[in-house]
């Protein structure tokens, strides 16, 4: 059960500040794209998100997008921002997380994973020994596979809540 438990839970990425990360020795972020940074059906970053990326860069925090989505979707988002990415990641498999760490030249203890799904982002990040941060999905709708995952996640979250492992609301 502990592999499904995120280290932190925040409302959105804007609650994650570079100063706090740096104070904890964090030098890099591995982040999901769809419903973590932007809605799954929105092609580009919002001005607020662009500002968040700029703040991270200004503080020397590297960001790599790791997404299960296809290359064109991730490329269209990441390229205009100059952000490295890994597409078709097959999360929760660990290969893409390790690849992102290698790209950033970081060790697991120097990076965090940010994502909106327990079954992909949190599970994959925890399997590599990364600090995992679960965010509330930015959209109320999901693609087909994600809808399926959410049903399973709700059961896992209810079970963890019953056991007193989490204290936030769904």
Provide the pLDDT for residue 141: 62
CATH superfamily of 2-162: HAD superfamily/HAD-like (3.40.50.1000)
Provide the pLDDT for residue 11: 93
Mean per-residue pLDDT pooled into runs of 10, the chain (170 residues):
89 97 98 93 92 97 97 96 97 97 98 95 97 88 66 77 68
CA distances for 84 relative to 54, 132, 159, angstroms? 14, 20, 36
Helix (H, G, I), strand (E, B) or coil at 134: strand
Provide the pLDDT for residue 138: 86
Provide the pLDDT for residue 145: 64
Provide the pLDDT for residue 42: 87
Helix (H, G, I), strand (E, B) or coil at 62: strand
Domain boundaries defined on the chain: 2-162
């Amino acid at each position: 059960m502990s592999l499904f438990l995120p280290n932190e839970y925040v409302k959105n990425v804007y609650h994650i500040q570079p100063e706090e990360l740096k104070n904890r020795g964090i030098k890099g972020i591995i982040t999901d794209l769809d419903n973590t940074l932007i809605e799954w059906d929105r092609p580009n970053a919002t001005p607020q998100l662009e500002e968040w990326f700029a703040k991270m860069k200004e503080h020397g925090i590297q960001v790599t997008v790791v997404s299960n989505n296809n290359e064109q979707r991730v490329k269209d988002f990441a390229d205009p921002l100059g952000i490295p990415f890994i597409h078709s990641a097959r999360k929760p498999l660990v290969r893409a997380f390790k690849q992102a760490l290698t790209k950033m030249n970081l060790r697991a203890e120097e990076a965090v994973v940010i994502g909106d799904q327990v079954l992909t982002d949190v599970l994959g990040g925890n399997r590599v020994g990364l600090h995992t941060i679960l965010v509330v999905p930015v959209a109320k709708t999901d693609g087909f596979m994600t809808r399926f995952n959410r049903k399973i996640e709700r059961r896992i979250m209810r079970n963890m809540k019953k056991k007193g492992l989490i204290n936030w609301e769904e």
